[in-house]
A and B are shown apart, each in its own frame.
Chain A
Amino acid sequence: MTTVSITAARPDVRARVQARPSPALRDVASIAGRALRAVPRELETVIPPIFIALFFFIVNIGTLQRLTESHLKGFDIKAFMLPTAILLGVTGVSRAGSLVLDIQSGYLDRLLLTPVRRLAILIGHMLADVAIACTLMVPILGLALGLGVRLQSGPGGALVFLLMGCAWSLAFAGFGYAIALKTGNPAAVNSSFLLFFPFLFMTSSYVPRAQLSGWLGSIAAWNPVTYVLEGLRSLVTGGWQWDSLVKAVLAIAAVGVVSMSLCLAALRGRTRRG
C-alpha cells in the first residue's frame, strides 16, 4: 500500500451549535407529531377501516335485527354489534405501513443516525396510532348513538369504552410493527390484518357466546377477542360489570405482551443489522 504524509489540521474557527440528546418525551412527541402530520396526506390508510366498520355495522343490523330480536328476548342487536364495529374499525390501524416506507426510502436510517432513542421511534408511531384509533371510534360511536344505542355505564363508561378500544388497537398494532421491522415488506404488513380475521369471527362477534355451536364456542372461549368484545358490551348493555372488564383488560394485556415482545425483538434485530 502506498502511504504518504497528511495535511496539517486547521484550527476550528467558530463556535458550533451544541447538539445533544433530546429528553425522551420530546423524542416521542417529535416522532408522533411527524406520524400524525402524515395522516391527512394519506387518508387512504384511515378511510377504508372506518368505511368497513360503518358498513358492516349497518348491514349486520339490517340482516340480523329481526332474527335475533324476535328469538332472544330483550336482545338489542344495535348495542350488541357496536363493539364488533369498533374492533373492526380500530384493529390493524397503525403506521406500520409508513415505517416500511421509511425503511425502503432509507429515512429510517436517517432517524437512526440521529441521537433519537430507538424505542422512541416505536413509541412515537404507536402514540400516533392511539390518537388515530380514538378519532376513528368517534363516528362509529356517533352513529350508534344516533341509532338509539345508549351506554348503560354512562359517560364514564363511554370514556372507558374508548380507552379499551384504543388499548386493543395498540396491542394489535404491535404485530404490524413487528412484521414491518422484521421484513421491511409492505405486502407482509398489509396482510397482517388477515391475522385478525380468525380472531374476530371465531368469537361472539355476531351472536352471544351461548348461542355459538359447540366447536365454535370452545374456540371462542380461548379467543382473547371474545373477552374484549364482552368487556366492551358490558359497558353498553350491562353497566359496570367488573368481572367482564377485568377479563377484557387481561385479554388486551396478554395480546399486548405477545405483540410488543415480538415488536421489540424485531426493533433490536433491525437496529443491530443496520
Chain B
Amino acid sequence: MTLLQAETDTGREAVGVIADTCEAIRAERLVRRFDGVTAVDEVDLHIRRGEIYGFLGPNGAGKSTTVRVLCTLLSPTAGRAVVAGYDVAAEPEEVRLRIGVALQEAALDPRQTGIELLRLQGRLYGLPRTVIGRRLADLGDLIDIGDALARPIGTYSGGMRRRLDLAAALVHDPEVLFLDEPTTGLDPVSRARMWEEVRRLNRELNVTIFLTTQYLEEADELADRVGIIHDGRLVAEGTPDELKRSVGNDVIVAHVDGSAEASRIAVEPLAGVRSVEARGEELIVTATDGAATIGPVAVALSSVAPVRHLTLRTPTLDDVFLEVTGNHIQSGEPSENEPTRRDGTEAGS
C-alpha cells in the first residue's frame, strides 16, 4: 500500500501501514520558507531502510534545513515528510524515538563531562541504567577517547567532540541516523575514521543513514545514492556511478590561454564529443571514449589557442553538479589541522 493510500485511513492504523513500508524516509513536495525565503523547495525523497543516502550541495543549498525538518526541529511550511514510518509534523515524538542526529555543529554542552552527557542522553530516551551502561560499552570503540570521557567536553579537540556527538546520537540505537556534514572541519585521519564508522553502522547494524555533505569525495565514497540539492531544489538523484555516467563516460579538461569560447566552437563538431562547456579559460569536454577523443581535441584546440593543460579523467560528482547547476560545488572549509590566517581565510587561498 502506498503512503497516499494510507492517508485515507485514520489514526494508528494508517501509521501502522506506513511503518510497514520499506522506506525509512519519505518526503513529498517538502517546503520550508523563512520570512519569504524558500530554503527547501518541493523536495521529494524516497530513502529505503538500510540505505546510505548522500545529500550533496554547497553551503546554503538547503541541506541543513531539510535535515532540521526531517528530524522535527523545524515544521514544514508545506508538503509532508515521514521518517521511520511516522509523520514529522503529526507525530514528532514517535519520530524522535527512532532517529539519531548529529548536527553540523557538534551539539554538546562544554560544561558537562562526556560520560555525563551520554548518560543523560540515555535517560532522556527512557533507557534503564543497565541498558545505558551496556550501550556505552557498545559505543566504547566509537567514542575511543579513553579517560577524557570524565573530563569536561570543553577541553575536547574537534575530533573528540565529533565522535562524542555521534555517540550521543547513537545511545538509543536509532533506526535512522541523520549526519549533517559530519566531517566538516575534521583532519583527513579523523575524516577517514568517521567514514569507516558510518560504513560499519550501516553494514553491521543496518542503520539507515541520511548524510549531508559538501564534499564530493565523501558522497562518492559513502553513499548508496546521492541527491544533489541546489537552491533548495533536488536537481539530480541516483547512485554515484549512474550520476557520473549521466554526464558521459570520460571528461577532458583543457586550460587554454584566453577565452575558451573560441575553443568550444572548434571542439564541438568533433566525433565522440558529447558536450562542451567553456568557463573562463577552462574547457570541459565530455566524451564517450576519452582516449580516442583527446588527440583530435588537442589538435583542434592548438589551432585556436595555446593549451596550457590537457587532462583526461573519468567524471566526478563535481561534473554532475556542474551539468545540473551550471556551477562547480564549493567546499573550501579548512580542516582543523589546516592553517588559517588571522582573518579566518585559508592559508594559501
Contacts and interface: CB of A to CB of B under 8 A. Distances in A.
Specify which of A3, A19, A20, A27 lies most central, judged by the most chain B CB atoms within 10 Å of its CB: A19
A10 interface: yes
A164 B272 CA distance: 87
B96 A113 contact: yes
Contacts of B109: 34, 101-102, 105, 107
Given A4-B239, A7-B48, A20 B126 contact: yes
Nearest to B32: A274
Nearest to A11: B206
B123 interface: yes
Interface in B115-140: 116, 120-121, 123-127, 131, 135
Interface string A93-137: 000001001100111011111111000000000000000000000
Contacts of B204: 13
Contacts of B50: 9-10, 12
Contacts of A160: none
B87 interface: no
A9 B75 CA distance: 28
A214 B170 CA distance: 65
B125 A12 contact: no
A170 B237 CA distance: 53
B124 A115 contact: yes
A57 to B, nearest CB: 31
A190 interface: no
Range of interface residues on B (Cβ < 8 Å):
35 or more
Interface string B139-181: 0000000000000100000000000000010001111000000
Contacts of A9: 22, 48-51
A109 B103 contact: yes
Interface in A33-69: 33-34, 37-38, 41-42
B101 A34 contact: no
Given A1-B235, A4-B239, A9-B48, A113 B112 contact: no
Contacts of A13: 204-206
A120 to B, nearest CB: 9
Contacts of A1: 234-237
Interface string B84-115: 00000000010011110101011111111000
B49 A7 contact: no
B69 to A, nearest CB: 9
Contact of A106 (B105, B112, B234): B105
B97 to A, nearest CB: 5
Contacts of A98: 111
B173 A19 contact: yes
A114 to B, nearest CB: 4
Nearest to B175: A16
B199 interface: no
Interface in B230-268: 234-239, 242-243, 246
Contacts of B173: 16-17, 19
Contacts of B116: 34, 37
Given A34-B112, A110-B107, A22 B124 contact: yes
Nearest to A121: B124
A17 B243 contact: no
Given A9-B48, A113-B101, A27 B124 contact: yes
A1 B131 CA distance: 45
A4 B172 contact: no
B309 interface: no
B193 interface: no
A26 B126 CA distance: 9
B132 to A, nearest CB: 9
Contacts of B224: 6-7
Given A7-B224, A110-B108, A113-B73, A2 B120 contact: no
Q: Which residue of B238, B246, B324 has the most chain A CB atoms within 10 A of its CB atom?
A: B238
A31 B111 CA distance: 14
Contact of A274 (B74, B108, B238, B324): B74
Q: Which of A16, A42, A105, A110 has the most CB of B within 10 A?
A: A110
Name which of A34, A101, A112, A114 has the most chain B CB atoms within 10 A of its CB: A114
Interface of B: 22, 46-51, 68, 71-75, 93, 96-99, 101, 103, 105-112, 116, 120-121, 123-127, 131, 135, 152, 168, 172-175, 204-206, 224-225, 234-239, 242-243, 246, 324
Given A2-B246, A12-B49, 11 more contacts: A2-B238, A4-B225, A7-B224, A20-B125, A21-B93, A27-B124, A37-B116, A42-B111, A113-B96, A113-B99, A274-B74
25 contacts: A3-B237, A4-B243, A6-B46, A6-B225, A7-B48, A9-B48, A10-B49, A12-B49, A12-B206, A17-B173, A20-B125, A20-B126, A21-B97, A30-B123, A30-B124, A33-B120, A37-B116, A41-B111, A98-B111, A107-B109, A110-B168, A114-B124, A115-B126, A116-B124, A273-B74
Which 4 A-B residue pairings sit nearest by Cβ, starting from the closest? A4-B238, A106-B107, A17-B173, A19-B172
Interface of A: 1-4, 6-14, 16-17, 19-22, 26-27, 30, 33-34, 37-38, 41-42, 98, 101-102, 105-107, 109-116, 272-274
